[in-house]
Amino acid sequence: MDTQATWQQSCCLQPKRQIYSHRRKRRRIFERRILQSEGGRIIQTLPSNIPGINSIQFSPSGNEIVSAGEARLVSAWLTDSCERYNLVPSLQLSSNVNGLAFSSDGSQLALAMSDGSVAIWDADSGEHLQDIRAEGEAVYALAYHPDGSILAITTVDGHKGVVEVWRVSDGALLHTLEEHSGTVNAVMFSPDGAWLVSAGRGINNSVLRVWDPVSGELLHSISGHVGSFQAATFSPNGGLLAASGPGKLIQLWRTDNWTQLKGIEHEWSVNHFVFSPDGQFIVSATFDGSVSLWALEYLSE
């Protein structure tokens, strides 16, 4: 699927396997597209001039596409009508937004703020529920535990990346995880909530850390290529862990024994990727403006 873009910044998948992508040139968003995964047909085009989108997601119901970024904007589009509205009033945001995460039931929306806070909102009513103040300078990424009880965030303490685990109900800090020597770019829970994975930079290469989210114990470390992992995610059944850096390769591991599988090599650098809801495909967005759909059947040890 070639979207004829300057470059594809990111993509996400709806439960119905519709692909949402947005393209950008310099710091201006020109167009958002919803594609049908079978055949790559463009279903809807959402024109927009919103600057600096840092994160996009379908809501858990699949009825809205939500984006957040600069200009203190959190916007949503209804997927059936393309109607756009501001999900969170911009005047109530303390800074620009680096990332967003829905709770698994779709009731809460958490925003990673560049001023070092996490703002939690009611995703239906737009009511501001609470703020969490990180120990670091800014919050870059975040993820809800599948049961919604805890929230993991990435922040920076000096020049070192840190993962903080917070209890949502009372805003209590449970763990500060400091095994990364460099930046931490992504954090995610396994689908069953048993593992918390942080992705970023080690001393000489990229690294993934696998944690017990209850005890804060480091369970496993995975080293990758030179540089830093920029993104990582689990397959829907938790059987695979995939990660990518600034290069052309998506790397994959089996989570039952952490065996590395054949990776997915691209012609251009990978900006973002996601698994399909059924776990049969990976969708990737690359620097040349393409959105690619990869079948995982061929993978072998």
| pLDDT band (50, 70, 90) for residue 49 | low
DSSP secondary structure letters along 147-168: TSSEEEEEEEETTEEEEEEEET
Q: How, if at all, do strands 231-234 and 84-88 pair?
A: unpaired
Nearest to 22 by CA among 37, 5, 39: 5
b/e per residue 145-175 (b: at least 16 CB within 10 A): bbebebbbbbbbeeebbbbbbbebeeeeeeb
CATH number at residue 112: 2.130.10.10
Segment 208-242, tens digit of pLDDT: 999 999 999 999 998 876 667 888 999 999 999 99
Distance of CA 272 to the CA centre of its chain: 9
Within a domain: residue 115? yes
Q: How, if at all, do strands 97-102 and 84-88 pair?
A: unpaired
| pLDDT band (50, 70, 90) for residue 1 | very low
**In angstroms, what CA-CA distances link 97 with 9, 70, 73, 141, 287?**
16, 6, 8, 10, 23
Number of structural domains (the chain) is 1
Q: Which residue(s) pair with 24 in the sheet?
A: 29
Q: Which residue(s) pair with 66 in the sheet?
A: 57, 76
Please answer whether residues 78 and 94 qualify as being in contact, where contact means their C-beta atoms are separated by less than 8 angstroms. Answer: no
Within a domain: residue 28? yes
| pLDDT band (50, 70, 90) for residue 73 | confident
**In angstroms, what CA-CA distances link 265 with 4, 89, 255, 278?**
21, 41, 21, 22
Within a domain: residue 1? no
| pLDDT band (50, 70, 90) for residue 103 | very high
Within a domain: residue 2? no
Rounded Cα–Cα distance for residues 219 and 176 (Å):
15
Within a domain: residue 301? no
Q: What is the mean pLDDT of residues 102-110?
A: 94
- Whether this model's pTM surpasses 0.85: no
Rounded Cα–Cα distance for residues 197 and 222 (Å):
10
Say if residue 14 is exposed, middle or buried (CB neighbours under 10 Å; 0-12, 13-18, 19+). Answer: buried
Tokens of 229: 């992992």
Q: Which domain holds residue 220?
A: 8-295
Which pLDDT score is estimated for 3?
Answer: 40
Which pLDDT score is estimated for 56?
Answer: 77
Please answer whether residues 75 and 83 qualify as being in contact, where contact means their C-beta atoms are separated by less than 8 angstroms. Answer: no
Q: Which residue(s) pair with 99 in the sheet?
A: 112
Which pLDDT score is estimated for 269?
Answer: 83
Task: Name the residue type at position 161.
Answer: G
- How crowded is the C-beta side of 129, counted as CA atoms within 13 Å? 17
Within a domain: residue 30? yes
DSSP secondary structure letters along 36-60: ETTT--EEEEEE---B-EEEEEE-T
Segment 18-34, tens digit of pLDDT: 544 555 444 333 344 44
